[in-house]
């Protein structure tokens, strides 16, 4: 895949120019090596093939197979394991290369997709909270908790999801090298959005004792609580 595939983007990671008054606050991409470990599970695959080779050695010795036969079987398993890890690592590299996470004053965007580019657009008013998790390699994930009234498609968002959430997927900025900076920017944006929603609600309510103002049907309402991002140590 060439970066020419995204020449239609006015700004890398954004499918169109932002509306007047909306500003781009932060952009970032996953670190492919960390993505390979946590999203594509190359470490678990390596352990699986090591266990298979150990099992083959134990069975071979117990069955009195020749050393050459055992070595040949282990070599085949080693080649298969190396191929599997290579393919998964390549997918992680291409995924990281095609992914750009963006935070604006009004929304979070996740542009991803190796073969078919997709952009997931999540307004800040739909985000109840954001949780940052740090890892030993210096990278971090930021999972977004979406209000229960909204649902995010699992297939169109994978692998940018919290691993433990399958029935109710949580979009996630994966393997960020500057997760602390991204969490700080997102927390500030969420607080600003929360304050804007509170001000709008107060303006709609009017002064004390005033008659209620009708809200047109179908207008979305802000979530009751909008918490800033916080850190959860790995």
Question: How many angstroms from the chain centroid is the CA of residue 86?
Answer: 22
User: pTM of the predicted model, to two decimals?
Assistant: 0.77
CATH of domain 21-30+100-200+224-233: 2.30.29
N-to-C CA span, the chain = 34
| Domain ranges for the chain | 21-30+100-200+224-233, 38-95
Residues 6+ apart with CB under 8 A from 88: 36, 40, 41, 42, 45
Report whether pLDDT(168) > 80: no
pLDDT digits (tens, 9 = 90+) for 22-62: 999 999 999 999 999 999 999 999 999 999 999 999 999 99
Give the model's confidence band at 163: pLDDT under 50 very low, under 70 low, under 90 confident, else very high: low
């Amino acid at each position: 895949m060439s970066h020419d595939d995204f020449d239609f983007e006015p700004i890398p990671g954004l499918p169109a120019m932002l509306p007047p008054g909306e500003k781009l606050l932060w952009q970032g991409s996953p670190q492919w090596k960390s993505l390979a470990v946590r999203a594509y599970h190359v470490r678990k695959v390596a352990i699986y093939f090591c266990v298979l080779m150990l099992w083959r050695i134990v069975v071979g010795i117990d069955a009195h197979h020749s050393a050459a036969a055992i070595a040949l079987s282990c070599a085949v398993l080693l080649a298969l394991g190396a191929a599997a890890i290579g393919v998964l690592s390549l997918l992680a590299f291409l995924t990281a290369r095609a992914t750009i996470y963006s935070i604006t004053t009004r929304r979070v965007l996740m542009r991803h997709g190796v073969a078919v580019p997709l952009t997931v657009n999540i307004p800040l008013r739909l985000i109840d909270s954001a949780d940052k998790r740090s890892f030993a390699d210096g990278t971090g994930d930021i999972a977004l908790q979406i209000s229960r009234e909204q649902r995010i498609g699992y297939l169109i968002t994978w692998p940018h999801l919290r691993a433990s959430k399958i029935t109710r997927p949580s979009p996630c900025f994966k393997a960020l090298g500057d997760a602390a900076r991204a969490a700080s920017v997102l927390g500030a944006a969420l607080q600003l959005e929360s304050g804007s929603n509170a001000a709008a609600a107060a303006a709609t309510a009017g002064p004390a004792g005033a008659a209620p103002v009708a809200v047109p049907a179908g207008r979305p309402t802000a979530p009751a609580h909008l918490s800033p991002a916080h850190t959860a140590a790995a």
